[in-house]
């Protein structure tokens, strides 16, 4: 190899290594929806096809640039949200009961307390391998003090059962614990006040997988302002867990065609957890 070409290749490899570039994910999960349809097996990564050597007198083809890994995407494309860091040290000997006690029976730390009826802390297995995180309670959740019990919650239950699980097998919670007025999105100050309790919940449960339902929870935990379409269905490392964002069940109620996309995401989670889809 010519010295100039060798130097160019070495420089490219160093640059790719610094970016953390990785291979394509060529897994093809089943696209069938709605929930309860047969799922695909564990994704298998296919090897890249060999590049034929150039003929005499021809220039060597340029090597394809592999896509950036999720870590590289976050660091390169996602503007960091300003404000206090959400990645503080873990609380020693923490428990879900202690977190709920620290919030208190009548929290007034942010303005959401003015219109709420109940604090909606979270529900499910305290040692669950899978945690679903939404944005905030709705009307029914506020009345029953339990997350995801309205129309969107019923759809989430169907999604969970389609994965071969039951609601008691997982843990379900939200970024904020009180209902925003008119079911609006939580505002930045409300998220900044309440999200540390969410992070403590995740630290106590220590799930294998965190599934963010909708942009609000994904943006909070990934510390980004980018829309969910930029990273939906991608894996991220989060405090010892694997994190994936997908569309919120409420979005699916308005856009049923997106169910097939969410089912693909759930199948990726099932592969990591070794789950089989529920048979009809």
pLDDT of 2 higher than 70: no
Give the integer Cα–Cα distance in Å for 20 and 75. 10
pLDDT of residue 35: 57
Q: What is the pLDDT of residue 90?
A: 77
* pLDDT over 90 (residue 7): no
Range of the domain at 39: 1-48+58-280
pTM of this prediction exceeds 0.75: no
Q: Would residue 150 count as lying in a domain?
A: yes
Look at residue 64 and tell me if it is in a domain. yes
What percent of the chain is modeled with pLDDT above 90? Answer: 65
Averaged pLDDT of the chain: 80
Task: Evaluate whether residue 53 is within a structural domain.
Answer: no
> Does residue 145 form part of some domain?
yes
140 located within any domain: yes
Query: What are the pLDDT digits (tens) for 182-216?
Result: 999 999 999 999 999 999 999 999 999 999 999 99
Q: How many domains does the chain have?
A: 1
pLDDT at 72: 38
Position 30 pLDDT exceeds 80? no
Q: What is the CATH number of the domain that holds 273?
A: 3.40.470.10
């Amino acid at each position: 190899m010519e010295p100039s070409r060798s130097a160019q290749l070495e420089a490219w490899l160093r640059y790719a290594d610094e970016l953390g570039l990785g291979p394509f994910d060529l897994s093809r999960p089943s696209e069938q929806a709605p929930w309860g349809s047969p799922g695909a097996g564990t994704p298998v990564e296919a090897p890249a096809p060999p590049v034929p050597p150039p003929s005499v007198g021809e220039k060597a083809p340029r090597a394809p640039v592999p896509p950036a890994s999720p870590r590289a995407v976050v660091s390169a494309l996602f503007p960091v949200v300003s404000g206090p860091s959400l990645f503080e040290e873990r609380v020693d000997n923490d428990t879900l009961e202690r977190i709920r006690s620290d919030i208190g029976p009548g929290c007034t730390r942010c303005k959401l307390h003015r219109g709420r009826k109940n604090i909606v802390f979270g529900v499910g297995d305290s040692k669950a391998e899978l945690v679903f995180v939404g944005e905030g309670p709705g009307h029914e959740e506020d009345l029953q003090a339990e997350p995801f019990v309205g129309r969107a919650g019923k759809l989430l239950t169907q999604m969970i059962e389609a994965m071969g699980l039951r609601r008691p097998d997982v843990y379900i919670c939200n970024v904020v614990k009180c209902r925003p007025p008119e079911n609006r999105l939580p505002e930045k100050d409300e998220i900044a006040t309440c999200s540390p309790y969410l992070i403590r919940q995740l630290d106590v449960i220590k799930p294998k997988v965190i599934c963010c339902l909708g942009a609000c929870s994904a943006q909070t935990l990934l510390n980004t302002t980018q829309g969910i379409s930029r990273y939906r269905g991608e894996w991220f490392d989060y405090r010892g867990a694997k994190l994936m964002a997908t569309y919120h069940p409420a979005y699916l109620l308005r856009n049923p065609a997106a169910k097939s996309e969410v089912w693909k995401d759930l199948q990726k989670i099932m592969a990591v957890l070794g789950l089989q889809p529920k048979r009809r």
